[in-house]
Structures are given as structure tokens and as C-alpha cells.
Chains A and B, each alone.
Chain A
Amino acid sequence: MGEVLVITSGKGGVGKTTTTANLGTGLAQLGKKVVVIDADIGLRNLDVVLGLENRIVYDLVDVIEGGCRLRQALIKDKRMPELYLLPAAQTRDKNAINPEQMEALHEDLKEMFDYILVDCPAGIEQGFRNAIAGADKAIVVTTPEISAVRDADRIIGLLEAAELRNPKLIVNRLKIDMVKRGDMMNIEDMLDILAIDLLGVIPDDQEIVISTNKGEPVVTKINSYSGQAYHNIARRVCGEDVPLMDLELQNGFVHRIRKVFGLAK
């Protein structure tokens, strides 16, 4: 029986889709059977981030409306044989489906996969309610900005109201040098406000932009710092006890890896 994880944030642009793509790929790398669902109907992105846009024939709304069989809409990832994408419809909107239909879909998918990751749209309206319906666990993504943390706090409240207790936190795009100078919120400040467990921290990394544009999740590049961070998160989701990376090591770590690959002086 699979587990449904919803990845949400409230605020837009904090990295929900990137996190879903990388966590899904990371779990598939660990040998799990994974499906990632794009619940952002009308503003789909997950297919682009995974580089699978040109394979879409049927989508989530087709499945729910009975326009195709579930297996017809599942797109096999081009790198990971155990990773599948259920894309969102682009020419429809969030009202095309309802929470009960999502729950029924999850029940079917649970039979087929170990992990079902749902990429939640930004906001707290219908799209959010659809995405969290039938979820077993929630992962809240935030960035070290006061606005993102405020929205994350609101989302945690809504999740709890929907009986999704103990969500886990991923802090994305942390700039360690700015934190050191005191120009950016640090992890402790955020945990203080949000009071939930930390699942992982993703450092701000140009590699993410490069890999997103190429449609290749950064977690496949294990020598990148952010890729390593996502890999660790995937292992933690699987129940492994992986210590947080020492963020101070960033320069040293990257430097060492570069040296191994002959890129550093």
C-alpha cells in the first residue's frame, strides 16, 4: 500500500514543483515505485521540470472524467524506470475536479505505487483543497523570507484543520553566507515560528536553475550540493536517519568534489 505525500507551500515560487520533481526522482533512485501528480490544473509545470512535456496525451482531468484509463495517462520518466508522471490539464482549471475524485484516484494509485507525490498549486483555494484530499502526509516548502514563512504558517494551520497532522518542513534556497552575516533568516528562526519538524534544507544553487531549464532534476547530479540535499531528503522520507548536511562546508565540499572531477584549481 502506497503513501500519499502532498508538497505545498501557500506562497508561489518557493520551489514546490522543483521539490516534487527532485524528491520523486530521488525516491525512484532509491528503488521505490513513485508517481508524481501535478495538481496545478491550468498552470502545469511539473512536466516541464521533468522534461516530459512532449509526451503528454492524456492528463489528470481525462482520468477523472473517464476520458481514458489511468495507465494511459501515466507517463514513464525517461531516466528512472520506476518513476511516473500524471500530468495536469492545461486547458482546464481547478474547478474541473473535486476533492472526492482526487481521493478515489489516490486509492487506485496506492495499489500501484510506493509513493504518490502531489505537487500542490499555490494558494489556498479549490486547487489546494483538491491536492490535499486523501493525502497521508504533507511536506511544507518555504524559503527564508518573512512572507514565505507567513504563508507556510497559514498552510500548516489549514493542513491541521484538514486532519493532516505533523507536516514536515523543507527550507529551500538558503544562502548560507547571508545567514552568517545576519541578512537572512536562519533555520532556527523559522523552526521557532512554524514549530514543525525539519525534513531538510536546500542551499541556494545555480545548478537548480540549469537543471530545471534542461528538464533534468538536480538530484541526478549527485556531485551538486543541492542534488545531495535532495538525495538526503529522499532517504529521510524512506525512514532513514540522515544527519543534516553541514552547510558551513559548502565551499569546501563543492571544492573537494570539483577537485575530484578536475574542475577546481
Chain B
Amino acid sequence: MMTEEGRIELKGTGDGLVIKVHIQGEFDLVKKLIQQKIEENPDFYKKATLAELTCEYLMPEDHDELQQWLFDEYQMNPAKKSRNKKNSVPETSEVSPTSKPEPIKWSKEDKERIEDETRFVQGTVRSGQKIHSDGNIVVLGDVNPGAELVAGGNIVVMGSFRGIAHAGAQGNEDTFVAALVLQPTQLRIHQTITRSPDGEFEQSKTPEIARLREKAICIEPFFIKN
């Protein structure tokens, strides 16, 4: 048998079917191998959306022909973005496709404008109060349980923070929540959410900062007393 595992990859993802051809040689052979794979489970593959088609060792025109053939034979609709994939070497840094909605992308100008915008709040933010800003929020006072801060950028509390904070609410992952005393009910950064542990736990006496590290919210001191 000509087929070897891994030489032709067929993979279902949230966006559709991903086909990767890792062999060089006759175009007909490639077609035959793909056909074999598809016939193993025709119901699953037929009429699938073709999210990605890469064939690193084939000619660009072969790529287009292959795509056309997949459409004719199996009614696979190519996804728009697959067009610029032709003949490219797979990028290792590429984020794997998921079904999650893409966060809003801000233009550079928008981003700069929003980052410059800061809302200052003086005094205690109490339960039931909700402070919203597309930019940053700085509270010169405490934030009590039941209060909510929602910012597109960063949140800084010059006092005790005990409420709910959402930093990077509009899609910025590189945001943080910092407070002199950080005891949040709940912290949200971008799309990640975390809550304080149940029961008694030791409180840090130094100011702390919460930020995303590998999709997890990490809290660490940002000022160490000498």
C-alpha cells in the first residue's frame, strides 16, 4: 500500500476540515490517497467546509486543481481564507482554529486613543455601582463587594479592591488589574474568569497585580517593601 499514516492528514476542526498533504510526487497519486482516506468515512467528509488545504510539495496550480476536484467530487466548499494558504510551509506559531468568536480587533489608532483614555474615580465604589470605561480605570479609594469595574484597558485601585473587575473587556489580553489590597470577589481579564477561593485563606500584605499568563490569571506582588 502506498499510504502511510501521516503523509496525508485529514482533520476535522471547529472551522471545518483541514487537509494537509505531506508528500511530493504525482498529482494523481495524491488524489488517490485522499480518495482512500475519504472513502473510509464518506458521510463525515462529504459536503464539509474545507477550512485549510496545504500541500507544501505540490505546485500552486495543483493546489487549486485539488481544491476544485474536492469540490466537484465531494462538494467541499473551500473557506475563504484557505486561498492564501497555497504552497505555504505550515507556520508553527499559528494558533489552532477554534469555533470561538474572534475578539474585536481594534485599529492601531483606536487602540492608542483608548489606551490614552483613563477614567478616574475618587472615593469608594460601593455595592451596586458599575464603572465602565473603554480605556483604563483608576480608583482613588476602595472598591467594595458587589461593585463592578469594567474597562477596555487596565484597572488600578489605590485602596482595597473587593468587588468584580473586568479588564480588557473589549478584547485586549495584555491588561491587568492592580490594587494596594487585592481581594476580589471575581476577576475577569479578556475572556478568562477566576474567583477567590472558598473559605479562609491568607491575605498578602503587599500590593498585587493580576494579569494573564498562558490563559490563566496570575496574581503576583508588584511592589516589594524594602
Q: Is B129 an interface residue (CB 8 A)?
A: yes
Verify B198–A42 contact, CB threshold 8 A.
no
The complex places the Cα of A242 from the Cα of B225 at a distance, in Å, of 62
Residues 56-82 of chain A, each 1 if its beta carbon lies under 8 Å from chain B, else 0: 110000000000000000000010000
The complex places the Cα of A91 from the Cα of B146 at a distance, in Å, of 8
- For B198, the chain A residues whose CB sits under 8 A away are 51, 54, 78
Verify A90–B127 contact, CB threshold 8 A.
yes
Q: Is A53 an interface residue (CB 8 A)?
A: yes
Q: Output the nearest chain A residue to B127 by Cβ-Cβ distance.
A: A90
Q: Is B11 an interface residue (CB 8 A)?
A: no
- For B195, the chain A residues whose CB sits under 8 A away are 54-55
Q: Count contacts on A: residues with CB < 8 A to the other chain.
A: 12
Choose one: B128, B145, B186, B193; the contact of A91 (CB below 8 Å). B128
- For A90, the chain B residues whose CB sits under 8 A away are 127-128, 146, 148
Verify B196–A54 contact, CB threshold 8 A.
yes
Verify A54–B185 contact, CB threshold 8 A.
yes
Q: State the majority secondary structure of interface residues on B.
A: loop
- CB within 8 Å of B: which A17-62 residues: 42-44, 51, 53-57
- For A56, the chain B residues whose CB sits under 8 A away are 186
Verify B185–A91 contact, CB threshold 8 A.
no
CB proximity of A186 to chain B, nearest CB, Å = 38
- For B127, the chain A residues whose CB sits under 8 A away are 90
Residues 49-79 of chain B, each 1 if its beta carbon lies under 8 Å from chain A, else 0: 0000000000000000000000000000000
Q: Count contacts on B: residues with CB < 8 A to the other chain.
A: 13
The complex places the Cα of A43 from the Cα of B198 at a distance, in Å, of 22
The complex places the Cα of A55 from the Cα of B193 at a distance, in Å, of 10
CB proximity of B183 to chain A, nearest CB, Å = 11
Verify A54–B128 contact, CB threshold 8 A.
no
Verify B196–A91 contact, CB threshold 8 A.
no
Q: Is B113 an interface residue (CB 8 A)?
A: no
Q: Output the nearest chain A residue to B196 by Cβ-Cβ distance.
A: A54
Q: Is B31 an interface residue (CB 8 A)?
A: no
- CB within 8 Å of B: which A148-191 residues: none
Choose one: B129, B130, B146, B193; the contact of A57 (CB below 8 Å). B193
- For A54, the chain B residues whose CB sits under 8 A away are 185-186, 195-196, 198
- For A42, the chain B residues whose CB sits under 8 A away are 128
CB proximity of B165 to chain A, nearest CB, Å = 12
Q: Output the nearest chain A residue to B129 by Cβ-Cβ distance.
A: A91
The complex places the Cα of A56 from the Cα of B146 at a distance, in Å, of 10
The complex places the Cα of A43 from the Cα of B128 at a distance, in Å, of 8
The complex places the Cα of A55 from the Cα of B164 at a distance, in Å, of 11
Choose one: A43, A53, A78, A91; the contact of B130 (CB below 8 Å). A91
Interface centre among B128, B129, B145, B198 (most CB of A within 10 A): B128
The complex places the Cα of A54 from the Cα of B187 at a distance, in Å, of 9
CB proximity of A202 to chain B, nearest CB, Å = 26
CB proximity of A153 to chain B, nearest CB, Å = 31
Nearest 6 interchain pairs by C-beta: A54-B195, A91-B130, A54-B185, A90-B146, A90-B128, A54-B196
Known interface pairs A42-B128, A54-B198, A56-B186; 7 further A-B residue pairs with C-beta atoms within 8 A, sorted by A's residue number: A44-B146, A51-B198, A54-B195, A54-B196, A57-B186, A78-B198, A91-B130
